[in-house]
Amino acid sequence: MEILLQLVFSGIALGMIYAVIAFGYQLTFATSGTLNFGQGESLMLGALVGLSLVGTIHGGPYMSYLLMIPLVIVFGALQGMFVEWIGVRPAIKIKSEFGWIMSTIALAIIFKNVAENIWGKDDLTFPSPLSSAPINILGANVQPMQFAVVIGALAMMAAVEIFNRKSIYGKAVVATSNDRDAAGLMGINTGVVITFSYALSSATAAFAGVLVAPLTLTGATMGASLGLKAFAVAIIGGLTSGVGAIVGGLILGIAETTTGYYISTGYKEVPGLLLLLLVLAIKPSGLFGKAAIKKV
């Protein structure tokens, strides 16, 4: 039972990282109907930039980590704006259905190559801002950083939701996501809103990068797998539901950790992918998603 609890706690922490990245997919899909398939590379760049900043900020591991986070979020936002400007906006302008897919994939490959040339191809260790001494909960040992991951992920998603519901700029995002054409007719600059959604999407991914980095190795290849699994989470939960991102992330995270221990690490991705296929077959809009209704 103690081992199972430990696997569940680890799966929750991993699942919340998937949820934050999946939440970023939802932000861009809601406003523009497009996805950034380089979302994993936004996480990777956030982690590597954060690692470089931590080494230059003085004040101890905890304080340098806290001071680094806002800078990484700003970097992620700028990177997201660049992706939208270079890869997505031209495709939307000419109404290309597939141009943005290839553009974001191409940019992801470029970002990975740039990271390899700057930080190298070897995995690096990200210093943890918290103690490595585990906390015993019902016989299971849980790292303090795992608690920080869950709290930080929930706080980030809650902050975005509050912003969208309470601020006038957030309401412009919601209006654009509900009906882009109608929002444009009401005087909302939907192009700016789409750019902002990409900035926010990449900022959340960069933040997820510095959350997960102390728990794993940091390198140029870390983003591809996390981004792909988060996309599966977004599909499982539904591309229109924030709750779905959390539930889907928890399901996939716990499924991976338990399968890796009780069956084999070589099969840990199988349950999540089987669930993805099952959801696509039974409910293509996702567990919590709403099916789009088109008038013909």
Give the per-residue pLDDT at 272: 79
Q: What's the rounded Cα separation, in Å, for the pair 227 and 208? A: 11
Angle among Cα 68, 203, 36 to the nearest 5 degrees reads 145
Tens-digit pLDDT string for the chain (296 aa): 778 888 898 899 999 999 999 998 988 988 888 899 999 999 999 999 999 999 888 777 888 999 999 999 999 999 999 999 999 999 888 887 788 999 999 999 999 999 999 999 999 999 988 888 888 887 778 888 888 999 999 999 898 888 888 888 888 888 888 888 888 888 888 889 999 999 999 999 999 999 999 988 899 999 988 888 899 899 998 887 888 889 999 999 999 899 888 888 888 888 878 888 888 888 888 888 766 554 44
**pTM, two decimal places:** 0.90
- pLDDT of 292: 55
pLDDT at 296: 43
Burial profile 103-137: b = 16 or more Cβ within 10 angstroms, e = fewer: bbeebbeebbeebeeebeeeebebebbeeeeeeee
pLDDT (0 to 100) of residue 40 = 92
Which neighbouring-strand residues pair with 135?
A: 142
- The C-alpha atoms of residue 248 and residue 259 are separated, in whole angstroms, by 16
**140 beta partners:** 137
The pLDDT assigned to 107 comes to: 95
pLDDT computed for residue 112 by the predictor: 95
Cβ pair 27, 264 in contact under 8 A = no
Take residue 154 and report the two structure tokens written for it: 């929930």
Instruction: Classify each residue of 43-63 as buried b or exposed e, where b means 16 or more C-beta atoms within 10 Å of its C-beta.
Output: bbbbbbbbbebbeeeeeeeee
Residue 125 has phi, psi (to 5 degrees) of: -100, 125
